[in-house]
Structure 1
Amino acid sequence: MRRLISFPCAGETLAATLDEAAGKTGLLIVSGGNEIRIGAHRGMALLAARVTQAGHPVLRFDRRGIGDSTGENGGYESSAEDIAAAARALRDAGAERILAFGNCDAATALAFFHASAGIDALLLANPWAIEPTDALPPAAAIRSHYAAKLRDPREWLRLLRGGVNIAKLLRGLRKASQKPSEAPAGLTARLATALGGAQVPVTILLAKGDNTAIAFADAFKGAAWEAARARTKVETLDSASHSFAAAADKDWLLQRVLERLA
């Protein structure tokens, strides 16, 4: 049964959706960006329904200032209390063990704040590890993009025929030439430390062609991530969909969720 519930969080009220099931291991879904709990393309609502059919309760919620929840939206960096309140609500509903899933900056928030919420395992999709300096994609994504184009003869013909914005091309090449050490280190260093010190099982899911995933994978190769690499499992999907929009992507994600819940 799917129920709408609410619970307190730092003097505000969070709205949530609880899909009930008899299992004692529950899934907590944390939305990324400013998405409401239904998710992009209704993806999180559909995932919750399928996980519940497999016997596991699922809770999705709007953090403060988003959707039906009260309060101010402080972004993912201020979501520690929201995640902890949602985890308590899922335990109050009968879950004895909690797997938390988040995509993009929700994945990063879970890496930062899971311990204080008492979460037992993490499934982190396309974690946000980008500190934007301009409107362009991250350097690693630009390099991947141009590498694919250089392998395509049609792109060379397009360039010769004047079908390419040269100014944009030059800006992209300048950014693509950045070494990883030239990128701001604050967020990536904090994320590396959080994952390297995690005391719960962590699985990272990456959509191979997604810019956010490409940037994370590039950072993940660095020396600062040695401890994180030793403690985490990484699985890659051959897709460019950040939100696992295609039917095959949804099936792949569901299988990973169910494996971790088991």
Structure 2
Amino acid sequence: MRHQLSFACEGATLAASLDEAAGRTGLLIVSGGNEIRSGAHRGMAMLAARVAEAGHPVFRFDRRGIGDSEGMNGGFESSGPDINAAIAAFREAAPHVTRIIGFGNCDAASALLLHRPLALDGLIIANPWTYDGDAAEAAEPALPPAAAIRARYLARLRDPKSLLRLIKGEVDFRKLFRGLSALKATAVPAAPDSLAARLDRAITGLDTPATILLATGDRTAQAFVESCPSALSRLPVERLASPSHSFAGEDADWLYQRVLVALES
């Protein structure tokens, strides 16, 4: 059964939803960008219902200044108190819960990493946001990461239809040369105070079990792979061949299964 409730965070009242279940391991869903707790196309609300049906309680909330919550929206980098208050509210609303796994997508994933230590027993980090600035406001670069461009052109070279279009002169050569020139560019190390560098340090010092989920066709995930390569050798990584940043449609089943594995480990 789903209940609506509220809790306090630094003088503001935050709105939350609890999907009840008897399990002792619960899932805390942190919303990314300026999304309300239901998520893109209600994806997080549907995930919560399925996870609760499988026996695990799920807590979702709107951070300050978002959705039904009071206060000023300070973005994901200011959401540490919100997450900590949500954890405490979850434990109070479901006192039988002894373990809480935190899940976040995009800048919510980054928030879970940046605001450690948190009173969580595990993390599920999906498509972490590495561009400086809030995901709801910052623009992605005009070109995708070099790794993504490389994979795209290699796939096209293996495609007879693409080669035929090249021979017939149906390819935009200016766009082609622009893409190929990006492959030659030397990767510039992230500045020490950049979001990517801070996330890399956070992962290095992580003392909580965590799993990274990546949609390999998503630009945000591709940028994470390029900006934080050492993170991929430190934590388990699950990859889905999809461009869906929010694991929409059929990808929701894949996400659900990975969440269940983390909850039941």
TM-score of the aligned structures, taking structure 2 as reference length: 0.86
> Aligned partner of 2:129: which letter?
W
2:5 and 2:131 map into 1 onto residues whose CA distance is 34
Deviations 1:15-71 (A, max 9, x none): 111111122211000111111111112111111001101111101111112111122
Is the deviation greater in 170-179 or in 55-64? 170-179
Matched-pair contact (CA < 8 Å) for 1:130–1:138: no
Matched-pair contact (CA < 8 Å) for 1:28–1:59: yes
> Aligned partner of 1:199: which letter?
D
Q: Assess, with a 3 A threshold, how the Cα gap between structure 1 residues 54 and 176 changes in structure 2: closer, same or farther.
A: same
1:57 and 1:30 map into 2 onto residues whose CA distance is 14
Once the two structures are TM-superposed, the CA of residue 162 in structure 1 deviates from its matched residue by 5.8
> Aligned partner of 1:235: which letter?
E
| Candidates 257, 260, 263, aligned match of 1:261 | 263
2:221 and 2:131 map into 1 onto residues whose CA distance is 10
Q: Which residue of structure 2 lines up, in the alignment, with residue 123 of structure 1?
A: 124
Secondary structure of the structure 2 residue equivalent to 1:256? helix
2:168 and 2:81 map into 1 onto residues whose CA distance is 55
> Aligned partner of 1:188: which letter?
A
Q: Which residue of structure 1 lines up, in the alignment, with residue 197 of structure 2?
A: 189
Q: Which residue of structure 2 lines up, in the alignment, with residue 14 of structure 1?
A: 14
Does residue 238 in structure 1 map to residue 245 in structure 2?
no
Deviations 1:164-191 (A, max 9, x none): 5554444444434333335556222111
Q: Assess, with a 3 A threshold, how the Cα gap between structure 1 residues 130 and 96 changes in structure 2: closer, same or farther.
A: same
Quote the RMSD (CA, aligned, Å): 2.2
2:151 and 2:70 map into 1 onto residues whose CA distance is 41
Q: Assess, with a 3 A threshold, how the Cα gap between structure 1 residues 140 and 73 changes in structure 2: closer, same or farther.
A: farther
Q: Which residue of structure 1 lines up, in the alignment, with residue 152 of structure 2?
A: 145
1:72 and 1:12 map into 2 onto residues whose CA distance is 9
| Candidates 102, 123, 127, aligned match of 1:100 | 102
1:171 and 1:183 map into 2 onto residues whose CA distance is 23
Q: Which residue of structure 2 lines up, in the alignment, with residue 70 of structure 1?
A: 70
Matched-pair contact (CA < 8 Å) for 1:126–1:207: yes
1:245 and 1:87 map into 2 onto residues whose CA distance is 26
Deviations 1:170-223 (A, max 9, x none): 4444434333335556222111110111111011111122222222223343xx
2:204 and 2:68 map into 1 onto residues whose CA distance is 35
Q: Assess, with a 3 A threshold, how the Cα gap between structure 1 residues 23 and 193 changes in structure 2: closer, same or farther.
A: same
Is the deviation greater in 25-34 or in 156-165? 156-165
2:245 and 2:219 map into 1 onto residues whose CA distance is 8
Matched-pair contact (CA < 8 Å) for 1:196–1:229: no
2:182 and 2:238 map into 1 onto residues whose CA distance is 28
Q: Assess, with a 3 A threshold, how the Cα gap between structure 1 residues 145 and 11 changes in structure 2: closer, same or farther.
A: farther
Once the two structures are TM-superposed, the CA of residue 112 in structure 1 deviates from its matched residue by 1.1
Q: Assess, with a 3 A threshold, how the Cα gap between structure 1 residues 150 and 114 changes in structure 2: closer, same or farther.
A: same
TM-score of the aligned structures, taking structure 1 as reference length: 0.87
| Candidates 194, 215, 220, aligned match of 2:223 | 215
Secondary structure of the structure 1 residue equivalent to 2:124? strand
Q: Which residue of structure 2 lines up, in the alignment, with residue 85 of structure 1?
A: 85
Q: Assess, with a 3 A threshold, how the Cα gap between structure 1 residues 81 and 161 changes in structure 2: closer, same or farther.
A: farther
2:125 and 2:140 map into 1 onto residues whose CA distance is 24
In the comparison of the two structures, how many residue pairs are matched?
A: 255
Is the deviation greater in 104-113 or in 71-80? 71-80
Matched-pair contact (CA < 8 Å) for 1:180–1:219: no
Is the deviation greater in 252-261 or in 148-157? 148-157
Matched-pair contact (CA < 8 Å) for 2:190–2:196: no
Is the deviation greater in 175-184 or in 53-62? 175-184
Secondary structure of the structure 1 residue equivalent to 2:213? strand
1:15 and 1:83 map into 2 onto residues whose CA distance is 12
Is there any run of 5+ residues in structure 2 with no aligned partner, and where? Answer: 133-138
Q: Assess, with a 3 A threshold, how the Cα gap between structure 1 residues 114 and 26 changes in structure 2: closer, same or farther.
A: farther
Secondary structure of the structure 2 residue equivalent to 1:181? coil
